[in-house]
Amino acid sequence: MAKGMREIKREIKSKQSMKQITKAMEMVAASKLRKAQEAAVASRPYADKLKEVVASIAAGSKDAKHPMLETRPVKKTGYLVITSDRGLAGGYNSNILRKVTQTIREKHKSTDEYTLFVIGRKGADYFRRRNMPITEDVIGLSDSPTFADIKSVAYSAVKNFTEGTYDELYLFYNQFVNAITQIPTETRLLPLDEVSSNTAVSSYEYEPSPEGVLEVLLPKYAETLIYSAVLDGKASEFGARMTAMGSATKNANKMINQLTLTYNRARQAAITQEISEIVAGANAQS
């Protein structure tokens, strides 16, 4: 019984140490979440205004054409997937990777029909283990990523579409709603045909021409959408990690309470047995 009590006591100490770690990680994630959420929200007005300008140019000039606005027969597809570098974030990575894998299995019969751009170590490792084609990846992003951190992969993804390497580009990321809810999201980034179909036209003067302005703005707009998704992903990551670590802390508390109850019962049983043995010995002597 004494050995059993020592084991229980050791387990209680182990769970208490685990609780301290998960509680600290929850607090760190909560502090980082505020900053990431502010960055994600702040990026949206710029993307919306850029979309308005691009839509106005595309709708206001029938001669304004660009490869990024034109739908063509799909022979190959590009996928840009945003994950995290670290785990311990609940279903943050698994949900988006499952969604990408399911889409690829349903749409493609061969690895020649698609290629991947990956942001985050978890996604890169996942696809490499399955021998899925990765054109470019970015790992080691900071907790507050700048556009310069993902510029190379964003530029490469857009450029490959413009050059005809593939005929459509899809973006997969976790859309941030709140600390508890993050929605795995799939959106077709290119071609930007939904932008050109926008009928809202504002009065702008173009220099040197609508085509020249589109040549500059369209890649920037697509890259801005990617960066905005990265910021959403970071906020989602911290929200998911905070929730996961909060749940882990609650579970650790439950386990500690159960083990403490078991320990107290074992201790009471040991005391009762000792008293019984003392009483029995005294009776034997009398």
Kindly indicate the confidence band of residue 158, based on its pLDDT and cuts at 50, 70 and 90. very high
Kindly indicate the confidence band of residue 279, based on its pLDDT and cuts at 50, 70 and 90. confident
CA 92 to chain centre: 5
Find out whether 242 and 90 touch, Cβ atoms under 8 Å. Answer: no
CA 43 to chain centre: 17
Which of 92, 35, 49, 55 is closest to 224 using CA atoms? 49
- Rounded to whole angstroms, the maximal C-alpha distance in the chain is 116
pLDDT of res. 55: 76
Q: What average pLDDT score do residues 44-72 get?
A: 76
Percent of the chain with pLDDT over 90: 62
Class of CATH domain 27-243: alpha beta
pLDDT of res. 35: 92
Domain boundaries, the chain: 27-243
pLDDT of res. 60: 61
